[in-house]
Amino acid sequence: MKAIKILLILFSVILIVSCNRDNNEESVQNPDVLTGTYTLRHFSPGFGPQETYNPNDIIWQFLPGKSLKVIVNTTTIPTNSQMPYTTSTTATYTLTENNKVTIKEVVYDISFIDGKLILNADASADGKLISLTKIEI
């Protein structure tokens, strides 16, 4: 029953992202479009349980110069999590002109939907989906 519930939640997230993309997506034209601070709210690894976090549990700071600073303020990340970063670190990312970003060798489509940054690595085909909310510090 729990597996069915998880699959339903995953399907719902994918459906919402797919349905909203045409209406609410902002185009990524500015090379600094990701620059800012975000709180990671949801991570879906494809097959596997969706991970949901409280605001400020996991902070992603996209800094100028293609640097990504990850601050982990929680101990609730599963040990088998497939999330790109499960500990605090500084890494790099690559931004392309066609609304894509490469983080830890995974290519994600970038979209801004209803004020959220959605990073989608082909979630409809069991890829990863990361949902972040921009915050001001």
For residues 3 and 108, give the distance between their C-alpha atoms in angstroms, rounded to a whole number.
26
> Where do runs of H (alpha helix) occur along the chain?
2-24
pLDDT tens for 48-102 read 889 999 999 999 999 988 999 999 999 999 999 999 999 999 999 998 878 899 9
Angle at 80 (CA atoms; ends 77, 81), nearest 5 degrees: 50
Q: For the whole model, what pTM was predicted?
A: 0.76
| Coil, helix or strand at residue 36 | strand
Domain extents in the chain: 2-135
Q: What would be the CATH architecture of the domain defined by 2-135?
A: Beta Barrel (2.40)
Torsion, Cα 10 28 108 6, to 10 degrees, reads: -10
Task: Flag whether pLDDT at 13 surpasses 90.
Answer: no
